Structure 1
Amino acid sequence: MTLANYFASLARYHVWATERLVGSNLAGLSEADWHRECGLYFRSVHRTVNHLLVTDDIWFARFAEGRSLRLPLDTELHADRGEACQALGQAVQRWSPWLAEQAPERFDGELAYTRNNGDAVRIPFAPALGHVFNHATHHRGQLSAALTAMARPGPELDWVYLLQQEAKSS
């Protein structure tokens, strides 16, 4: 499998897992549970969803637009739950079309950007891109654990289930 195909699969997973979590589980939370302090790094489901949006925006700007957004990682982009969930659903869909435009040799290059603190960074492109999807998986796992702690069902989010689903339909 080429790196382009590997990352295309990760981008599909990014959409699939986000849709499963947001659509069937987070949408059904009460307002109190949406904002409840539940021991997450960003404290609540609301703040964690906003963090996912912020970081997706930051990384997409770095990769696709060559821009370094300087947003605090706990920025509230959307106070309204519906708007936050809709924006996250749209954000994760940007990666597949962008990845389809990348030349294979791009994955062997570097990514240069400026961190929030102003430091210039140059890191390997492919591992940095892997971080984008791994980071989102980490926080989706936190959200799934928060749902479990609230006695709500969490969806099955393992990537292998998407791969099995895709294998059946091909």
Structure 2
Amino acid sequence: MAAMSPWRGHFLTFARYHAWATRRLLDAVAPLSDEAYRRDVGLFFKSVHGTLNHLLVGETLLWFRRFAHGESPALKLDMEAEPDRARLAQAVLDGAMAWEAAISAWPAERFDGRIRYTRMTGAVVDLPFAPTLAHVFNHATHHRGQITAALTLLGQPGPELDLVYFLQMQEAQTG
């Protein structure tokens, strides 16, 4: 494992939280009927399925490839990457779990560097690495919150996904 930095520890916590929260969300989504799962409930990507699909596209197929491989794939944020519900859930979870290993492997100085990529419009963007990585986790939290609200609207309990619950669970396991 590469040398520890304050950034690395910070982002490893967020990567672990991200995987934990994604797993809990998918567990809460599982009982939905297929009709409810695909119903337009007014989310930006319309349904629970559409929003999970967007998480796969945005987080894994786009941002992870930018950060981990230096690629700039030309994708549409609303493209349907995986129509099958079970395969989509597994791909979203696998994508969420991939961040921890990537972050662990990056050299400490990378967090203080920059990320350069090409947007889907063809424009080249050059941004500070750590705040842009923070965006990825913030983006996922935003869409998990939308899905949690949709679950409530659809008559299902929403999972508790607050970071402090994850931290308390982690403390209980290590302390």
Q: What TM bracket, shorter-length normalisation?
A: over 0.9
1:119 corresponds to which of 123, 143, 146: 123
The residue identity in structure 2 corresponding to 1:111 is I
Match of 1:58 in 2: 62
1:134 corresponds to which of 138, 149, 159: 138
1:45 corresponds to which of 43, 48, 61: 48
List, as ranges, runs of 4+ consecutive aligned residues in structure 1 with deviation greater than 6 Å: none
Q: Please list the CA deviations of residues 31-53 of structure 1 after superposition, one character each: whole Å capped at 9, or x if unmatched.
A: 11011010100001111010000
TM-score, normalised with respect to structure 2: 0.95
Shift, 1:104, TM fit: 1.3
Shift, 1:102, TM fit: 1.2
Q: Is the counterpart of residue 97 in structure 1 residue 101 in structure 2?
A: yes
The residue identity in structure 2 corresponding to 1:44 is S
Match of 1:153 in 2: 157
The residue identity in structure 2 corresponding to 1:47 is G
Match of 2:39 in 1: 36
Identical aligned residues as a percent: 49
Shift, 1:20, TM fit: 0.1
TM-score, normalised with respect to structure 1: 0.97
Match of 1:76 in 2: 80
Counterparts of 1:14 and 1:154, CA distance in 2: 16
The residue identity in structure 2 corresponding to 1:20 is R
| Equivalent residue pairs, number | 169
Shift, 1:103, TM fit: 1.4
Q: Give the root-mean-square deviation of aligned CA atoms.
A: 0.8
Match of 2:11 in 1: 7
Counterparts of 2:115 and 2:109, CA distance in 1: 13
Give the gaps of 5 or more residues in structure 2.
none
Q: Is the counterpart of residue 27 in structure 1 residue 27 in structure 2?
A: no
Q: Please list the CA deviations of residues 52-76 of structure 1 after superposition, one character each: whole Å capped at 9, or x if unmatched.
A: 0001120001000000011100011
Counterparts of 2:30 and 2:87, CA distance in 1: 11
Counterparts of 1:144 and 1:49, CA distance in 2: 12
